[in-house]
Amino acid sequence: PLVLGIESSCDETGVGIVRGTELLAHALSSSMEEHVRFGGIVPEVASRAHLEAMVPTLEQAYAESGVRIQDVDAIAVTSGPGLTGALLVGVAAAKALALAHDKPLYGVNHLAAHVAVDQLEHGRFDGRMAAMLVSGGHTEILLVDDIATDITLLGQTIDDAAGEAFDKVARLLGLPYPGGPHIDRVARDGDGTAYDFPRALTGRDAEKYKYDFSFSGLKSAVARLVQHEERMGRTFNVADVAAAFQDSVCDVLTKKTIAACKDHDVDTLIIGGGVAANARLRHFAEERAAKAGITVRVPRLGLCTDNGAMVAALGAEVVRRGLPPSSLDLPVDSSMPVTQVLAA
Ligand code: ATP
Ligand code: MG
Ligand code: FE
């Protein structure tokens, strides 16, 4: 099916067009620059930016693909989870298009879309897989039996998301927002063994929190170290701290995810979300997965971060299975659970 997808859950306004697993358009506009001076996403600013970017981004997608809205089989839109005001802009746009052009409308889950997008890169999924979703707002291990109908949540963060931890620690180290890419870069010259930061929920806690994560204690450990060194009037090696922090996050993420794969007899692991860009994470994942006979699928960076193509990719799967469309009074759901692929 030919599907147009709209994404507006956070700071990216995205419009994608796919035919099945073939990517035809990937148009994107981001309001990140407007949030930088606040050190985090400001919801009101994001909503307004979506409003301004929506029509130009749609037009860019039509131009890129040569597809006209009249020709699409369906319209898919992120209906959650995300910022309510931001989601509303995308959903309103999708409803307007569906109504004006008499097209079926599908409200889909943003997190499932982060997984589905890999099909545009590496072809259709085949059988049971695991997915690790790591972004600014999410850290989850999923068991995916069917991307459109059957997703199980195996574990998640009990406090900060992985990307959030990167952003907070970057701030402690005086690096710009969003901090993930800066830590990644700076850590390349650092020694990850210079500091012994905690690996939360791995020791005895792992019985109760087998596939769960916690990053707030790690962030506090970095904060204490920085404060201590400053109080002592010492300078510390930012590269070493960044590398040691990054090693802790990536070590725990990959160890638990590979364990979840083995425990569930899964031989394919998909990694998605902005933190999938991290070089150390990719290194750990590939090394450990290879040892365990697991194939790692990571979509290219531009498809890992929020975009409209991922929404279209999931929409295409939903259409392919003949699932019923959403109603035109489709609500947004800021905390839509990852196990719910389609809007209620
Ligand atoms: P959501 O959580 O709803 O998907 P988001 O906008 O926070 O939304 P993404 O755009 O997928 O998610 O990812 C952004 C996050 O990824 C930020 O926290 C950023 O610091 C982090 N990130 C990006 N590149 C890297 C990197 N190379 N290393 C570590 N973290 C990174
Ligand atoms: Mg983003
Ligand atoms: Fe996302």
- Tokens encoding 56: 């130009």
Residue ranges for the binding site for substrate? 133-137, 167, 180, 184, 278
Band (248; pLDDT cuts 50, 70, 90): very high
pLDDT at 263: 97
pLDDT at 344: 84
Tell me whether strands 74-80 and 105-109 are parallel, antiparallel or unpaired: parallel
Nearest ligand to the CA atom of 140: 1
pLDDT at 271: 97
Residue ranges for the binding site for Fe cation? 110, 114, 306
Give mean pLDDT, residues 63-87: 98
Instruction: Give the Å distance between the CA of 231 and the centre of ligand 3.
Output: 38
Instruction: Give the Å distance between the CA of 167 and the centre of ligand 2.
Output: 12
Per-residue pLDDT reduced to its tens digit, 210-220: 999 999 999 99
Nearest ligand to the CA atom of 274: 1
Per-residue pLDDT reduced to its tens digit, 297-319: 999 999 999 999 999 999 999 99
Best of 251, 305, 310, 338 to mutate for ligand 1, by most ligand atoms within 8 A of CB?
A: 305
Nearest-angstrom CA–CA distance, 180 and 163: 7
The label of the residue with tokens 């199980």 reads 152
Question: Which of 154, 153, 156, 213 minimizes the C-alpha distance to 341?
Answer: 153
pLDDT at 40 over 90: no
pLDDT at 86: 98
Nearest ligand to the CA atom of 301: 1
> Which residue, judged by its Cα, is nearest atom 5 of ligand 1?
136
From the CB of 274, is ligand 1 less than 6 Å away? yes
Residues with C-beta atoms within 5 A of ion ligand 2: 10-11, 306
pLDDT at 59: 98
From the CB of 306, is ligand 1 less than 6 Å away? yes
ipTM over 0.90: yes
Instruction: Give the Å distance between the CA of 196 and the centre of ligand 3.
Output: 31
Least trusted range by pLDDT, from 25-39, 53-67, 96-110, 260-274: 25-39
* Ligand 1 atom with minimal separation from the 304 CA: 11
Per-residue pLDDT reduced to its tens digit, 144-201: 999 999 999 999 999 999 999 999 999 999 999 999 999 999 999 999 999 999 999 9
From the CB of 111, is ligand 1 less than 6 Å away? no
